[in-house]
A and B are shown apart, each in its own frame.
Chain A
Amino acid sequence: MRAILESLLALALGVLVGAAVMAAWGRDPWGAYAALFTGALGNVRALASTLSRSLPLVLTGLTFAVGARAGLFNIGAQGQMLLGAVVALSCGLLSLPPGWHLLVALALSALAGALWALPVALLKLTRGVSEVISTIMLNWVAHWLTLYLVVQKLSDRVVGQRTFTVPMGMRFPVLQGELTWSWTVSVGMALFLFWFLWYHRQGYEVRAAGLNPRAARAAGISVSRAMVLALLLGGVSAAWAGAIQVLGRFPYAITSDLANLGNLGFDGIAVALIGRNHPLGILGGAFFFGVLATGAARMGLRGIPLEMIQIVQGVIVVAMAAPEALRLLRRLRARQKEVVPA
């Protein structure tokens, strides 16, 4: 309850600051916001587009959230997402019966994401390498590897700017406009992780290990296992974000500049913070992100320059993410303090 109130206050603050920015440069802020609103939610078509954009963000948001619940600062979603996308796409090279093809692609994509998360866990547990460092480095490895594969190995022979497109039997069926049945993956994962974290022993152990590792250890909980689990689940979730972006959304391919995968992984961090690292909150946070992304186009039609739209988006996102981000930081600082002997 308090969290929702806090978020609404932050939203209002962000909107006001955004309005002030637009007003200061002589634009009509309320008209622009109205455009944002109708552009994102004004009709079924717009709503479908908004939802479609928010689906992968749910998954990358979950990656960060499940890590945070285990006491980790996992920013590896970007790399895992890229690999998940490219592995899912590569499955198009196989020939399998329709439907099964999609399931196999999702399975292999998940495997890739988990494998990409594994070194993070191993380095942390055997060598004490901070997951922040290892995930940043692995993100870059994944980035260049993906780019190489997309440009050199998977590109379309006719249309140079993208890879080949996903065969029909491997695509998510269209539900409405831009929205496809890939929503089941995002919503399903969010519901699964919600159940996992609050209704399953292992999720309970993940949360215990994240909140108080010493007490968890004293109670016989394997903190390392909880961390590994959180990282692997996060890897799967992030990989699926890439997969559904390729298998469930136009252009059903990866563009040669990776633009249609963009910063889904990093945006997921903001989504997780807006959603208070809670799977159900993340559904809301991702939707909110989708609204900002879709509505921006309509704001552009009202003569608001792209840069200003981005400023407004940024201000609102920062305001919304701030409360949880501060909470995380405070907890980190408290943990550092504990290390100092009394």
Chain B
Amino acid sequence: MGAGAKPAPFFFMAEALLLAQGITKVYPDGTVALTGVDFEVQPGEVHGLLGENGAGKSTLTKIISGLLPPTAGRIFWKGKPVRFSSPREALRAGIGMVHQHFALVGPFTGLENIALGAEGGGLLFPVRAEAIRRRVEELMAASGLQAPLNVPVEELPVGVQQRIEILKMLFRDVDLLILDEPTAVLTPQEVDELFPILRRLAQQGKSVVFITHKLREILAVTDRVTVLRRGRVVAVRKTAETTVEELAQLMVGETMVAQAQRSRRPPGEVVLRVRDLRVLGPEGRPAVDGVSFEVRAGEIFAIAGVQGNGQSELVEALVGLRPWTGEAELLGQSLRGKSPAQLSALGVAHIPEDRHALGLILEFSVAENAVLGRLAPFLNPVGGVRWGRVQRFAQDLLVRFSVQARGVRAPARSLSGGNQQKLLVGRELSKSPKLLIANQPTRGLDVAATRYIRDLLLRLRDEGLAILLVSADLDEIFELADRVAVMYRGTFTGILPAEELDRERIGLLMGGVAAEGARE
């Protein structure tokens, strides 16, 4: 626990900075996200909020930060009952949240972003601007968050952008900083830099709520941890008094199985061959700048790297969503100029990194999504859809891939993230593909769904499928990959067999430091 006073005999705790009591949240569609949650943050502590996706972490923090109203329950801030009707009100009271997707204006500089919308943040007058700059520099010195202030933020690495987001909150003088999965987008080195900063903020009396589903991070940085499972608090622990095993069990409700095994069989024929592939990014700059690799049947070829180094463009090119130059062949057949439909027919299955934007149509039902891109077998001669067959097929997918849904007519939106992903994966695999391109297949999924997807990928590999895995999650790479390429600014800084990998080395490669002896 933090530096709070010793608990008095009749009080449960020292006075909390934030106390939420009996928070219940029922969404308009009837989904119960939270049930009677009590959550309490002490001054000057880093408080971990641990739970699988769909456990209610983000709902809870959205309620605290004024983004969502609770259905029932009370919130006390510094001992007084409060009810924020907007994030702005919460921010004014001293509660700031840094979301996974940053709220930064790309072409603005760091300083402009920090001042934007803040009280007394007008940059128009040079005198004020100078004062603001001094204040931000003081904050940087005090917190250890160093970031360039004169560079447009879109030119900065994600880790630095995150620092600017945090500085933005500190500039608004928050007492409680909520970080939603802050490590998801960071390199290992950046994570190592972030944690001491959080500790330092806590020493200075700020409280930090740290949302994650990574157990190691909880142990590394928090004072206490609240574990959520299916919308209820299952435990509150002092970090010093708990273990990874206990937390994992609390979070999942069951003991997880250990690491998976590598392929024993030698890989088979070359399924995908890529030579000197070049792809332009959204802004017309080269996003993929000449990469070459092969993926063989029965192997998982992984591309590691921090997000935004060209992986998305590489994948979009290979599935026909982005023009490219160079060579790409699937089982000897050129992929040049092929449309997504043609590639799919050739046997390319795609698990996109953003399932909401690219993989599913959330307003569509489960059945309608189950046949997205593979409707042909369900048509009658005039092009009418045989919904009866589609529904049976969808029902079958739900069973085979253990997707939990109210039924095949339920909108995809009503499924949890993990179940949406399983539905999507099931659909792609039902095409009996030759090559599976999985881009961040477990990002944002809960532990059980992650386990499921990873086991599935391993099984498919053992059955001889060629898998191209793109992941920013090192654990995933280490667990699944047979060979690993590290992508940095559009090129591979190295391709290594899995046995030669270690965290330190791959971290350096991800950060653009070329490894000695790395093969091109």
Which chain A residues have a beta carbon within 8 Å of chain B's beta carbons? 195, 199-202, 204, 207-208, 211-212, 214-221, 338, 341-342
Contact = CB atoms under 8 A, between A and B. Distances in A.
Contacts of B518: none
Contact of A204 (B321, B341, B363, B368): B368
B358 A341 contact: no
A207 B384 CA distance: 15
Contacts of A218: 319, 321, 340, 350, 352, 358-359, 373
Given A218-B340, A219-B372, A342-B102, A199 B384 contact: yes
B127 interface: no
A341 B107 CA distance: 10
Nearest to B161: A342
A215 B339 contact: no
A207 B363 CA distance: 10
Contacts of B368: 204
A199 B387 contact: yes
Interface string B327-360: 0000000000001111010000010100001111
B14 to A, nearest CB: 38
B341 A220 contact: yes
Contacts of B387: 199
A36 B444 CA distance: 57
Contact of B344 (A200, A204, A220, A341): A220
Interface residues of B, number: 31
Given A201-B379, A208-B372, A220-B339, A215 B154 contact: no
Contacts of A207: 364
Contacts of A202: 383
Nearest to B376: A201
A196 B350 CA distance: 29
B385 interface: yes
A330 to B, nearest CB: 13
23 contacts: A199-B385, A200-B383, A200-B384, A200-B385, A201-B375, A201-B379, A201-B384, A204-B385, A208-B364, A211-B363, A214-B358, A215-B360, A215-B361, A215-B372, A217-B340, A218-B321, A218-B350, A218-B352, A218-B358, A219-B372, A220-B341, A341-B154, A342-B101
Nearest to B282: A341
B362 interface: yes
Interface of B: 101-102, 106, 154, 319, 321, 339-342, 344, 350, 352, 357-364, 368, 372-373, 375, 379, 382-385, 387
B309 to A, nearest CB: 16
Contacts of A214: 357-358
Q: Which of A201, A202, A218, A341 counts the most chain B CB atoms within 10 A?
A: A218
A154 B363 CA distance: 49
Given A218-B350, A219-B340, A211 B101 contact: no
Nearest to A208: B361
Query: What 6 pairs across the A-B complex have the smallest Cβ distances?
Result: A220-B341, A219-B373, A342-B101, A220-B340, A212-B361, A219-B372
A195 B321 CA distance: 31
B445 to A, nearest CB: 19
Contacts of B373: 218-221
A173 B350 CA distance: 56
B321 A217 contact: yes
A214 B360 CA distance: 10
A215 B373 CA distance: 9
B385 A216 contact: no
Contacts of A220: 339-342, 344, 373
Contacts of B363: 211-212
Q: Among B321, B344, B372, find the residue whose CB has the most chain A CB atoms closer than 10 A.
A: B372
A293 B246 CA distance: 71
A210 B379 CA distance: 21
Given A341-B154, A342-B101, A342-B102, A216 B361 contact: yes
A13 to B, nearest CB: 20
Nearest to B341: A220
Contact of A215 (B342, B357, B383): B357
A212 B368 CA distance: 13
A247 to B, nearest CB: 29
A276 B154 CA distance: 41
Contacts of B352: 218
Contact of B106 (A208, A217, A338, A341): A341
Nearest to B386: A199
Contacts of B154: 341
Contacts of B321: 217-218
A216 B371 CA distance: 11
B120 to A, nearest CB: 26
A206 B101 CA distance: 30
Given A208-B372, A218-B359, 14 more contacts: A199-B387, A201-B384, A207-B364, A208-B361, A208-B364, A212-B361, A212-B362, A214-B358, A215-B357, A215-B360, A217-B321, A219-B340, A220-B344, A220-B373
Nearest to B374: A219
Contact of B375 (A204, A211, A338): A204
B355 to A, nearest CB: 9
B316 to A, nearest CB: 9
Nearest to A207: B364
Nearest to B154: A341
Nearest to A203: B385
A310 to B, nearest CB: 36
A211 B340 contact: no
A201 B362 CA distance: 18
A203 to B, nearest CB: 8
Contacts of A342: 101-102
A221 B321 CA distance: 12
A220 B102 CA distance: 31
Contacts of B384: 195, 199-201
Contacts of A212: 357, 360-363
A284 B410 CA distance: 26
Identify the interface centre among B101, B102, B154, B340: most chain A CB within 10 Å of its CB. B340
A167 B340 CA distance: 53
A217 B350 CA distance: 13
Nearest to A219: B373
A225 to B, nearest CB: 11
B368 to A, nearest CB: 7
Contacts of A200: 382-385
Contacts of B364: 207-208, 211
Nearest to B106: A341
B495 to A, nearest CB: 27
B383 A201 contact: yes
A199 B385 CA distance: 5
Nearest to B321: A218
A341 B363 CA distance: 23
A26 B383 CA distance: 60
A236 B106 CA distance: 45
A214 B101 CA distance: 19
Contacts of B344: 219-220
A338 B357 CA distance: 10
A219 B384 CA distance: 19
